[in-house]
Amino acid sequence: MTGTSEAVPAVTLLTLGGTIFMAQGSGDGHAVPDAAAAERLHATLVDGVELTARGIANISSSDVRPHHLREVLEQARAAVDEGADGVVLTHGTDTLEETAFLLNRFWDRQAPLVVTGAMRPASALGADGPANLAGAVHAAVSPSARGLGVLVVFDGEVHLADQVTKASSRSVSAFASAPSGAVGMIDAGQVRLLHRPLPRPAPQAGSLPERFAPVPLLTAGLDEDFALLDALGPEHLAGVVIAGVGMGHVSPAAMPRLRRLLGEGIPVVVATRIAAGGTSTHHYAYPGSEVDLLEAGAGMAGVLPPAKARLLLQVLLADGATPDRIRESFAAYAS
């Protein structure tokens, strides 16, 4: 009788730094990037998985730029094409949800691309980085995660890139998903799905640009007329995203400026600053309401929060999207 051996699952670990690769100073206790912490995490062993680490940067997530994510996308695609069962990316938590969302616009492989990080530095008591990394590696090789696109694994939960948000600036259970909740959980080294998600929007061909066009994100509020827009020239204003009030509303005083921009061919997308519920298309028809904005030519972001709406608009502008295509792209997130 001849024996058979099963292939060992392989995961490529790409690293961009963040708290997971930081340590606290002995004097002031401030957390800063630490090469030794990165080396220790690279050496993390996950039973039954071959882990290959490739460092891209060791920076805070506020310092991540499109060119970093372009490199992540290219290396992740190459790793899967060379035989990796999945890819894990470590990242700071401040903008982790934005990176996951951006990568998900372009991720065109069935293998999972899983983003994770930590809320506590590697030197802290109860550091959560190793457990989060192990969970992400398990998700990257799980058959249940294939075809789900880019995922975020944090504190034993699995989140879809388009739904995940950072819900706490302090807790180790820092991420939540709306409107459906976490798509799964890490259970005994496997991904157990809690619900079956809707099909993903088709990924965009190509890769991220080196730089994004300037799209300011402005917050609506009481008596906010967006006078700042008068001071922005075309070189600083490829589009605008508004974090509206309620279901995606602005002050009537803001409408003349928004109509002017739309008349000049500058796209305006309105999200909501409210955490749950998204924007509407039909509930209200007073000046500055969603119906008024739509009639002026603006688009509504649906369930996308303002930061993700801004990124989607920037991706579409980089691809030369027409106003009709921009509206159609956001319609996929209508609520």
**SS3 state at 142:** coil
Residues in CB range of 241: below 8 A, 6 or more apart: 215, 216, 217, 218, 268, 269, 270, 271, 301, 306, 309, 310, 313
**SS3 state at 253:** helix
In which order are the strands placed within the sheet that holds 217-219?
217-219, 240-244, 268-272, 299-300
DSSP category for residue 231: G
99 noted as active-site residue: no
Please answer whether residues 9 and 50 qualify as being in contact, where contact means their C-beta atoms are separated by less than 8 angstroms. yes
Q: Is the dihedral of CA 77, 108, 90, 308 positive or negative?
A: positive
In terms of DSSP bridges, do strands 268-272 and 299-300 run parallel, antiparallel, or are they unpaired? parallel
The one catalytic residue in 15, 19, 116, 165 is 19
Report, as residue numbers or ranges, the catalytic residues. Answer: 19
